């Protein structure tokens, strides 16, 4: 019985590069054509990191792979690191609760629930969330909006809604949202 602690080269490269994903991400946020496009900034940063990792594994002897499995493990490690940063990035750029905290912080005084709702996101108000989320669903072709009426659109909307219902049932979740 033993635990083997030897680390494949591509995994070592992935751990080093994965840790530093915020550096290419910061670089992407400085590019004017990506201004305020947070998801795209993150995507480009991850693509750049994977590119550097591929070059490092291909040309740096200490990161050289022993076989296909080493590539796979390294790729999983780098993708795992990207997922961790994606979660943080998602919270920073889309976090509902964090935005409420920022609203309270900016007000510099206690606020009632109605005032928080009005001042949310620098004065956009909570309605902004509604416009943003429904606008996203509409752009993805999942719903159609006609004044106050929102209609589920086939096939994308029905497919995603049914998949969502299936996942809730399988996981046994009682409340979501």
Partner 1 sequence: MIAAGIIQGIIAFFGYVALLLLLLRAFHKVEATFVVLLAALFIYPVLLAIFVVLAHSVNFWVFSTSYWFLVLSFLMGFGAIYKSLSLRMLLTLLETPTHEHSAESFRKEYIFGDSFNNRLQLMVDQGLAEWTDDKLSLTIRGANWANRLIILQRVFGIMRSG
Residues 155-174 that bind partner 1 (CB under 8 A): 157-158, 160-162, 164-165, 167-168, 170-174
User: b or e along 5-33 (b: 16 or more beta carbons within 10 Å of the residue's beta carbon)?
Assistant: eeebbbbbbbeebbeebeebbeebeeeee
Whether the Cβ atoms of residue 98 and residue 129 lie closer than 8 Å to each other: no
Footprint on residues 59-88 left by partner 1 (CB under 8 A): 66-67, 69-70, 72-73, 76-77, 79-80, 83-84, 86-87
Taking the complex as a whole, how short is the minimal distance between the CB of residue 127 and partner 1, in angstroms? Answer: 7
Q: Does 36 bind partner 1 (CB under 8 A)?
A: yes
Q: Does 23 bind partner 1 (CB under 8 A)?
A: no
Selected from 16, 29, 52, 54, the binder of partner 1 by CB under 8 A is 29
Selected from 101, 119, 139, 141, the binder of partner 1 by CB under 8 A is 101
Name which of 55 and 127 has its Cβ closer to partner 1.
127
Question: Which residues touch 98 (CB under 8 Å, ≥6 apart)?
Answer: 91, 92
Q: Does 139 bind partner 1 (CB under 8 A)?
A: no
CA distance 22 to 42: 9
Q: Does 102 bind partner 1 (CB under 8 A)?
A: yes
Assign 96 to helix, strand or coil: helix
CA distance 56 to 114: 54
Taking the complex as a whole, how short is the minimal distance between the CB of residue 95 and partner 1, in angstroms? Answer: 5
Whether the Cβ atoms of residue 65 and residue 71 lie closer than 8 Å to each other: yes
CA distance 75 to 69: 10
Footprint on residues 38-57 left by partner 1 (CB under 8 A): 38
């Amino acid at each position: 019985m033993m635990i083997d602690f030897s680390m494949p080269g591509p995994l070592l490269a992935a751990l080093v590069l994965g840790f530093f994903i915020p550096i290419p991400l910061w670089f992407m946020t400085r590019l004017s054509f990506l201004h305020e496009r947070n998801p795209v900034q993150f995507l480009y940063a991850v693509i750049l990191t994977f590119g550097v990792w591929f070059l490092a594994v291909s040309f740096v002897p200490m990161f050289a792979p022993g076989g296909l499995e080493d590539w796979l493990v390294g790729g999983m490690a780098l993708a795992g690191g990207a997922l961790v940063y994606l979660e943080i990035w998602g919270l920073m750029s889309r976090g509902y609760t964090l935005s409420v905290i920022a609203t309270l912080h900016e007000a510099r005084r206690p606020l009632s629930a109605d005032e928080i709702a009005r001042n949310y996101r620098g004065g956009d108000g909570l309605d902004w969330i509604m416009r943003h989320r429904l606008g996203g669903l509409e752009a993805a072709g999942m719903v159609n909006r006609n004044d106050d009426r929102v209609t589920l659109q086939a096939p994308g909307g029905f497919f995603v809604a049914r998949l969502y219902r299936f996942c809730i049932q399988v996981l046994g979740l009682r409340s979501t949202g």
